[in-house]
Structure 1
Amino acid sequence: MSIKKIRIAYVDEPPFYWTEKDKSLKGADIELIETVLREIGISSIEYHHTTFEELLQGVKGGRWDINVPIFVTDERAKEVAFSIPVWALGDGFVVHQGNPKELTSYETVAMRSDTRLGLIPGQVQVNKARSAGVNDSQIVLLKNQDALIAALQSGKIDAFAATAVGNNAIVKANPELQSVPLKNNIADKIPVGAFSFNKDNHELLQAVNQQLNKYLGSADHRNKMAKYGITSSEIDAIVSKKNEK
């Protein structure tokens, strides 16, 4: 690799990536990319904290080199180049303990006009909710995960949607809240996530993909991810997809 220093953009979404109180950076995807970059000879990493909405435009505009993994969609793939998938994650809601409005799917939100659902702009859950019939008047857009949690605790919203794995981390830190995994329709494929790059950054993308192909699904990879609650359920789907190629 001719590149020696890499700039990586991230947002705060445990257990995938977040800033500790001492300003250190932690998370499953942080540990994964650091392992991969170390193996391909990258000696220096500079992290950029940003908002979710800025991720794609930031890497596209050259403000940084890599984005932490986000869901791969056809629309996003027009803007950036994705690595091979690194996890497959289903959605879930975070609600108050006991799930008082019995919210178990986007459709159950749509059926209750008195229900307010918190979402982060630009995330795939926004389109999923709208596709299921959730009215815009029911959707409350908030800038980040901390804002979603605060809105739920204050009663501004009745639930918010994110990944089921991520929601497990949230309720562990907020025991008054409950995580509700959503069931995928049989016809639905579990969405996959991947690192994203500027489309002109071929050398870095190819090097990262080569190392991910070697590393994903290994015992070391599984052990590192297990520390963050990411299990075989989230890994096996992408490993089998990788082996099909």
Structure 2
Amino acid sequence: MMDAPLLHRDDPDKDPLVGNVKVTRQDWMNAALNVLKQGGVEAVKVADLAGHLQVSRSSFYWYFKNRTDLLNALLEHWQNTNTAAMVTQANAPARTITEACCNIFHCNIDTALFDNRLDFAIRDWARRSERVNTVLKAGDAARLDALTAMFTRFGYAPLEATARARVIYYMQLGYDNANLGETLEERLAMVPGYLVAFTGKDAAKHEIAAFYTYARKVAAHSAPA
């Protein structure tokens, strides 16, 4: 079942979809991303999206040539959000390797920064499409290159930097998929130990405190009103 329409307008409740009111390209993208994450690429169908958005399917063609054009846009969105976010976080200013890893952890706490459900959906899609698999591999390579460079920046030898980059990357990818059922506080309690495992070093107390503050702020912001 699809969620309520994810409309781009500021207040869709006061701007109902009646008469000639049109949706934006972002509305179509939001609806398609929602379906992709919930039902996979096969569920992304123009007619169904139009029904969900309560508009004529003809309005879809104002923004996209066809369904393939929409799917390409979804793939590009993944590249410009998830992959770009992890690369950016790996290159973010940090005084120590443990602080740098905390920057990476932001991706696993903040879904506005890195959408794990979208990553899983793209990986599932890649099993069905060689073209998407090629794009996925390029994205993985870009992320791992950035993480390896991060460890190298803090003095790790090339082979060790590569190994540690792989450990932190693949562990973080699978963390949510493991469905551990942790509370936020249980997850945060493990952070100092994870940092030792990933870096071989103890994080400073102020680094841990800063990450805890960030994580709790994100959780409070995303909690239902």
TM-score calculated relative to the size of structure 2: 0.22
Greater Cα radius of gyration, structure 1 or 2: 2
Instruction: Give the strand-richer structure, 1 or 2.
Output: 1
Determine which structure has the larger helix proportion and give its number: 2
